[in-house]
Structure 1
Amino acid sequence: MKAAIPIYDICSLTQRQDDLLISRFASYLKSHRNLHLAHKHSFYHLVFFTKGDGSQTIDFQQVSVKPFQIYFMIPGQVHKWAFEGEVDGYIINFSVPFFQSFLLKANYLEEFPFFTGIVDDSVIDIPESAQAQVINLFEQLICETEEPKPLADDMVRALLLQLFITVARTGIATVNKAIPHYNYTLLRSFQKLIEKNYTALRLPKEYAELLYITPNHLNALCNDVLGMSAGEVIRNRIALEAKRLLINNDLTVLEIANQLNFTDNSYFTKFFKKQAGTTPEEFRKITNSHE
């Protein structure tokens, strides 16, 4: 059994003190064959496939790999690949601070639906009408890194923002298209609050209070947009973190329960089994057997 899931930063992949890695995917894959095993990133990560088949797993959710598909990942998500045949495209890794000195709005990236950490919103099939434009942007990005010119980093940032906006315009998940802007903003605020407070706040009424709305309003919003209650959204985030921690065999189940602020081990086991359909020990055993 492996001791702990690897956590990669950009430096460990490039052997340089960089905030950015841009590459054609086939050559990157050849240099990093070990990345087919489950691992985490400390950086933002995206891949646009131009050729490929198989599957990948993001936060324990499996999705098919196919040409003209792009996926986005935020720091901390768990990832592994299971490709079939020849795979190519483009890969971009960039650090959390990469845009902070460039944009006045430090959390600008969080406005894009594919940088929420929700897998269903972060794997996007690029329509034929936008494929040439997206490929052209990736080629410009490759060019800027292969032949650096003055202000190259700022040009990369500008091209990346153009890419994000282009993808957002053409590939925003269908669930978000019909949502009124106010409701979408409210839902994103709820998700951000969960991200910061899920170990301490467990009840929808606690989040509703922070959002200055009623628990019924919050529940109705989640049911309308996500098809689940506000309580389920909170519990799903706790269960996801439990899964991320369970694949690290250096941590005992009791230590994980304590990290997630459960009062005792049996309560954590009961919670996890209800959410995941298996006990923490069984989940750990199954996950390790697939590595």
Structure 2
Amino acid sequence: MDELIRYPFLHTFNPIQKINATTIKERLSRKPHQLFLPHRTDFYMIFLFTEGNGKHCVDFHPLSVKPKNILFISKGQVHNFDEKETYDGNTVVFTEEFFCRTEDERAFLHHSPLFNDPLQLAYFEVGERYQELETLYNLIIAELKRPTHPNQAQILHNYLYNMILVTELVYQPRKIQVIPNRQQVLVSEFKSLANEFLYEHWSVDNYAEKLNVSSRTLQTAFSVIEGISPKLWLNERLCLEIKRLLTFESKTINEISFLLGFKEASYFVKFFKTRTGITPSEFRKTRQF
């Protein structure tokens, strides 16, 4: 089995700033074959689709591309373009280093519902804000083409920040309040920690302790905001990671089990089969490319 391809950030217009903007067709023209295969990226991506149709697959979910829809892909997510695509759009890619210059900016990015929950893909129609987002994209392109100057990084950061703020207003999968209350913040912090420490196989109690709240407080907040328990969300998040590793890594079942913190491979197999109906080996056979 081939190892999953990981793509690092590459500069185009500007050799200094770790933010880039191109159309989808321009992006595919550089590495067309590789990008049609599932791959991970070491940066964040925003796709604002402008025309055409087709599929874009993210973490085993084929999304139907529609003009004026936007898609957010977090660092480390698995995705691939449709080889038969007829769609185009604007893409903005940026590194964590570029966006997170302060702890507040790091917290904002990691807690944003657009990026912090791979179980709820942030793909939706932007409606009347489409023109505004396209303008921000064009401003990023124009600034990247200018000679480097002392204020350039701040200007680019502001444009990107505004893109995220505007789309957060549109993205309300569970009618989340625009101004987060304490429970919403707690759930976002939990998801951010879970994405960071997933391989440690922490319990809900471990996360509650790390967040300086009681397990009951965390359970209640998650139930109110998500409608499920944090334990169920953790299990589904872990199951997604197992699928990624089974599909794109050459590690054995035992190695993956150990990597993800399972004490016994037999429990790992039982955990996966309970949630998918098939064993890890059976799943791997269905996903070979």
**TM-score where L is the length of structure 2:** 0.88
The one-letter code matched in structure 2 to 1:268 is F
Describe the superposition over 1:185-208 as per-residue Cα deviations: whole angstroms up to 9, x where unpaired. Answer: 111122123223333344323333
Q: Partner of 1:27: helix, strand, or coil?
A: helix
Matching of residue 135 in structure 1 with residue 134 in structure 2: yes
Q: In the alignment, which residue of structure 2 is the partner of 1:200?
A: 200
Q: After TM superposition, give the deviation of residue 180 of structure 1 in Å.
A: 5.7
8 A Cα contact 2:199 2:261, kept in partner: yes
Q: After TM superposition, give the deviation of residue 39 of structure 1 in Å.
A: 0.4
Q: In the alignment, which residue of structure 2 is the partner of 1:20?
A: 19
Q: In the alignment, which residue of structure 2 is the partner of 1:280?
A: 280
Q: After TM superposition, give the deviation of residue 120 of structure 1 in Å.
A: 2.6
8 A Cα contact 2:11 2:20, kept in partner: no
Q: In the alignment, which residue of structure 1 is the partner of 2:266?
A: 266
Q: Partner of 1:199: helix, strand, or coil?
A: helix
Runs of 4+ in 1 over 4 A off after TM superposition: none
Q: In the alignment, which residue of structure 2 is the partner of 1:82?
A: 82
Q: In the alignment, which residue of structure 2 is the partner of 1:66?
A: 66
Q: In the alignment, which residue of structure 2 is the partner of 1:11?
A: 10
Describe the superposition over 1:200-249 as per-residue Cα deviations: whole angstroms up to 9, x where unpaired. Answer: 34432333333344434333332332222221111112212211211234
1:1-291 → structure 2 map (5 Å cutoff) = 2-11=1-10, 19-33=18-32, 34-82=34-82, 84-101=84-101, 105-127=105-127, 129-148=128-147, 150=149, 151-177=151-177, 181-288=181-288, 291=289
Where does structure 2 lack aligned partners over 5 or more consecutive residues? none
Q: Distance in 2 between matches of 1:197 and 1:243?
A: 17
8 A Cα contact 2:201 2:261, kept in partner: no
8 A Cα contact 1:77 1:117, kept in partner: no
Q: Quote the sequence identity (%).
A: 26
Q: After TM superposition, give the deviation of residue 139 of structure 1 in Å.
A: 1.1
Describe the superposition over 1:97-153 as per-residue Cα deviations: whole angstroms up to 9, x where unpaired. Answer: 1123377643332242102133535212101x2111111111111112234453333
Q: Distance in 2 between matches of 1:229 and 1:257?
A: 24
8 A Cα contact 1:9 1:42, kept in partner: yes
Q: Partner of 2:263: helix, strand, or coil?
A: coil
* Cα distance change, pair 50–32 in 1 and its aligned pair in 2 (3 A): same
Q: After TM superposition, give the deviation of residue 67 of structure 1 in Å.
A: 0.6
| Alignment RMSD | 2.7
8 A Cα contact 2:69 2:124, kept in partner: yes
Describe the superposition over 1:238-284 as per-residue Cα deviations: whole angstroms up to 9, x where unpaired. Answer: 21221121123421111000101111211111111112222111111
8 A Cα contact 1:269 1:280, kept in partner: yes
8 A Cα contact 2:119 2:237, kept in partner: no
Q: Partner of 1:93: helix, strand, or coil?
A: strand
* Cα distance change, pair 141–74 in 1 and its aligned pair in 2 (3 A): same
